[in-house]
Amino acid sequence: MNVLVTGAAGYIGSVVVSELIQNNYAVVALDDLSLGHRNAVHPQATFVRADLSAYDQVDRVFSRSSIDAVIHLAGQSLVGESMQDPGKFFRANIINGLNVLEAMRHHNVHKFVFSSTAAVYGEPQHLPLTENSDCNPINPYGASKLYFERILPWYLNTYGIKYMILRYFNAAGATAILGESHPVESHLIPIILETALGLRLNLELFGSDYDTKDGSCNRDYIHVSDLATAHIKALDHIEQPQNRVYNLGMGHGYSNIEVLEAARKVTGMSIPSTFGPRRPGDPPILIAKADRARTELGWTPNHREIEPIVESAWRWKVKYPKGYVD
């Protein structure tokens, strides 16, 4: 099977590309390199630099390549930025995705795996979150992903484009050669590790007065390689799925303070930290119930605790302290 991966040079996308190639898929890796890194793309993938906001460029990719399925990861994902510039997120996460769907229907491609997010749920009323939990996003990032989710059944019913929606909780960790490196880092674990390496003077944790066990935000962390494996499982089941929406998480959470303590243990460093104000758009706690993915897709995560996840990220960060050199 020939698979087009959008956002292929990003953190999750590069690991998905690598996992696909290891499982004998042929991959067309698409990215505009505004946020991703060319050096993160597997050398056996066919790399294409293209802008998803330009339909003619998207159409050209389909015209020049034999594509059987699409895994769509490209988009904007910074919650804080979405609160300041919502239009940017609606354009990137809805309009650009529509360009991909339109190219698919014009070129008779009928398999689509969508990278969604736990942010669609907003502030949960009940935990853990199931795929049937109410979706009330509290930031434009989550709203943009939810709106795009709601487009997909129409493309299935009208054009026969079969889809799978994977709602990620907090992606983390690294493989031996692929890790997290963003132009503007907003994720907790890499920021902690940059502080440990002296690349930052101090770690600021956002919020100490949430209604959680220690006052800090609580998140469900899932190793990036386990996320990548889930995409293979989704492709395997896309023809006759029992459902089309799947949570991807571990089913238990860690507070910001617990993640910091895990990093201190892994690195052997004190890691200076302070508390700042809450970050707008952050729900206090997000924990998945991912039984559906386990039972229906046969997905089995290999990383179940926070320390091994942090340790994998630390090994990569020590080896590549400044990230990718493009």
Contact by Cβ (8 Å): 71, 5: yes
Three-class SS state of 282: coil
**pLDDT less than 70: residues of the chain:** 326
Which residues lie closer than 8 Å to 145 by C-beta, 6 or more apart? 75, 93, 116, 117, 119, 120, 137
pLDDT at residue 184, rounded to an integer: 81
Contact by Cβ (8 Å): 161, 155: yes
User: Taking the CA of residue 132 as centre, how many other CA atoms within 13 Å lie in the half-sphere pointing to its CB?
Assistant: 3
Phi-psi map region of 273: left, alpha, beta (phi>0 left; psi -120 to 50 alpha): beta
Which residue carries 């004998």 as its tokens?
A: 24
pLDDT at residue 99, rounded to an integer: 98
| CB burial string 295-324: b at 16+ within 10 A, e below | eebebebebeebeebbbbbbbbbeeeeebe
pLDDT at residue 303, rounded to an integer: 94
pLDDT per position as a tens digit, 223-272? 999 999 999 999 999 998 889 999 999 999 999 999 999 999 999 999 99
User: Taking the CA of residue 205 as centre, how many other CA atoms within 13 Å lie in the half-sphere pointing to its CB?
Assistant: 24
pLDDT at residue 240, rounded to an integer: 87
Give the pair of three-digit tokens for residue 191: 């920021």
Amino acid at site 79: V
Q: Where are the domains of the chain?
A: 2-172+222-248, 188-219+251-319
The fold of 188-219+251-319 is: UDP-galactose 4-epimerase; domain 1 (3.90.25)
- Give the residue numbers marked as catalytic: 141
pLDDT at residue 137, rounded to an integer: 97
Architecture field, domain 2-172+222-248 = 3-Layer(aba) Sandwich (3.40)
Give the pair of three-digit tokens for residue 279: 């970050």
